[in-house]
Structure 1
Amino acid sequence: MKARVHVMLKDGVLDPQGEAVRHALGTLGFLGVNGVRQGKIIELDLAEGTDEATVAQMCEKLLANTVIESYRVEFG
């Protein structure tokens, strides 16, 4: 079973990497980009029977810094 965890900075948290990407895109001539938020995707290959609660615990304890990041899990 596979799970994909999407981790993003929460709204209101400064994203210096995203701002650097936005600036670089402008420098390259892509002037229509008003903002960039950068995140990460973590793919997990899980044993059959691993439940959503276990994946949520993984996110809460290691995969996401829940003080400044939010996460969303997709199974499939």
Structure 2
Amino acid sequence: MPTIVVEVMPKAELLDPQGKAVAGALGRLGKSQFTGVRVGKRFEITIDGPADAAALADIAQLADTVLSNSVIEDVVGIHVVGTAEAVN
């Protein structure tokens, strides 16, 4: 059974308080060379059947309507694990 990965990130123009907290913690750990962190979400969806164009189109629609909040987030990647196939 193939696994499709959907990656969602906060929109670039919005403040990412979770990422800012991680960046601050890295600085306190002496890792000051890392100045910017953005924290997002990763969904791994296992499907029955092939990860064909129709399945990827269904996932792309779900990513835009269910897995992400289009007001504050962007779907930045959809791909099948272990292959070069990708959407977006």
Match of 1:10 in 2: 11
Match of 2:73 in 1: 69
Cα deviation code 1:14-49 (max 9, x no counterpart) = 100000000011111111111100111110001214
How far is the alpha carbon of 1:68 from its aligned partner?
Answer: 1.4
Matches within 5 A, 1:1-76: 1-49=2-50, 51-71=55-75, 72-76=77-81
Tell me the secondary structure at the aligned position of residue 51 of structure 1.
helix
| 2-structure distance, mates of 1:56, 1:66 | 13
- TM-score of the superposition, structure 1-length normalised? 0.89
Write out the 4+ residue segments of structure 1 that deviate beyond 2 Å after TM superposition: none
Unaligned 5+ residue runs, structure 2? 82-88
Letter in 1 for 2:13: G
Indicate the structure whose relative CO is greater, using CA pairs within 8 Å and at least 6 residues apart. 1
Give the length in aligned residue pairs: 76
- TM-score of the superposition, structure 2-length normalised? 0.78
| 1-structure distance, mates of 2:74, 2:49 | 26
Unaligned 5+ residue runs, structure 1? none
| 2-structure distance, mates of 1:2, 1:28 | 35
CA-based RMSD of the aligned residues comes to 1.3
